[in-house]
Amino acid sequence: VPDYAQAMVLGSITFLLIALIIPLQRWIINRRQYTTVTGQFKPGLVDMGKWNNIAFASILALLFVLTVLPFVIVIVGSFMAKAGFLNTTPLWTTVHWEYVFSDRLFMKALRTTTILAVVAGIGSPMLFSVIAYLIVRTKLRGRGTLDSIIWISAGIPGILSGLGLLIMFLWVPGLSWLHGTIWALILVLVISGNTTGTNIFKGVFVQLGNDLEEASRVAGAGWVRTYFSVVLPVLMPTMVLIGVLNFVSAAGATSNIILLASRDTMTLSLLTLEYAAPEIGRREAAGIVTLVIMTMTLGVAMVGRNIALRMGVRHNIQAHGDPVGRVRGGRRARARAGAARATTEG
């Protein structure tokens, strides 16, 4: 029989550790100014010289081990009659793919997962950026308490947060209808990454100079227009980063939603557990569902990168100390100057 009370006590120990870290974090941040992005800010790349190729090769090797290799192994295993066994006859088959894509529960789980991941990927960055803005930029009373709550929530294990919400839905009058619905899952997944998302945005806001917003307000723009016209384009790479992170997290979420989901709100991650359970024993089918999740997240990451490049602030970035960049930049400058002289003389 699960002992939920003891589990809650063990989980609360993490609260005490975080409570000791919060004052230290605030002391370190308040010691100095971290503003680097102002109205005259111009980004640049750092030329690492001979270390460029070494760093690139190291990152490429890491990506291969952590991403490409598992992806290939799962693909190969999904086409084997029994994953990991090379002495079966026949060795290769497509029956597992036929089983998964003919399962109505898979299509329902795919639809539910897509809805949850999209809502979490879009809603979370907006929510966390506003929370970070209130904590860093405003003098709002209670912002320190809000910051502490954001930090402390990181100490709650996913299964315990799901249990807490389950108890709240069952005990609080008027909330019982949420249990087993997609709205309960959306609530959990949107707020599940609040500590990471909010603190990443806090780091960005700490680096932004106040003159960016002051110039907009002097020009007559209100807070809303300033935020969406000035602040948001600067934040766009971070917004996309948090959006993709929360999309990936929501697509693969298990522990924090397993107590709240029902048969009608089954997700791909929960379906993977069901397929891999000893009672069913379809590990190959579980691998196929995992491939679907990986493909979804990879596609969203690529689309998100293009969106960030199109909507964010654009710069003509060159590496500092890069002789090739300086030569090309000098050639372009001389060409523009020659064209201007020719136009003037003509």
- Say whether both 185 and 81 belong to one domain: no
Tell whether 169 and 246 lie within a shared domain: yes
Burial grade of 158 (CB within 10 A; 0-12, 13-18, 19 or more): middle
Q: What b/e string do you get for 46-78 counting C-beta neighbours within 10 Å, with b at 16 or more?
A: eeeeeeeeeeeeeeeeeeeeeeeeeeeebeebb
Q: What is the pTM of this model?
A: 0.74
Percent of the chain with pLDDT over 90: 13
Q: Are 251 and 118 in contact (CB under 8 A)?
A: no
- 12 or 154, which is more confident? 154
pLDDT of residue 1: 56
Do 119 and 262 lie in one domain? The reply is yes
198 and 78 together in one domain: no
Among 75, 93, 111, the domain-final residue is 93
Specify the CATH number for the domain of residue 294: 1.10.3720.10
Domain co-membership, 194 together with 152 = yes
The reply to whether 210 falls in a domain is: yes
Is the peptide bond prior to 90 cis by the omega test (within 30 degrees of 0)? yes
In a domain, 9, yes or no: no
Which band of pLDDT confidence, cut at 50, 70 and 90, is reported for residue 326? very low
pLDDT tens figures, 266-297: 999 999 999 888 888 788 899 999 999 988 88
The answer to whether residues 164 and 290 belong to one domain is: yes
Same domain, 260 and 178: yes
Radius of gyration of the chain (CA): 26
Q: Is 89 in the same domain as 107? A: no
pLDDT tens for 66-123 read 888 988 988 998 898 887 787 877 888 889 999 999 999 999 999 999 999 999 988 8
Q: Is residue 222 part of a domain?
A: yes
Number of domains in the chain: 2
Q: How far apart are CA 156 and CA 191, in angstroms?
A: 12
Domain that holds residue 80: 50-93
Tell me, yes or no, whether 39 lies in a domain.
Answer: no
Tell whether 228 and 85 lie within a shared domain.
Answer: no
Residues 67 and 125 in one domain: no
| 109 assigned to some structural domain | yes
pLDDT score at 3 = 66
Residue 298 and residue 275 share a domain: yes
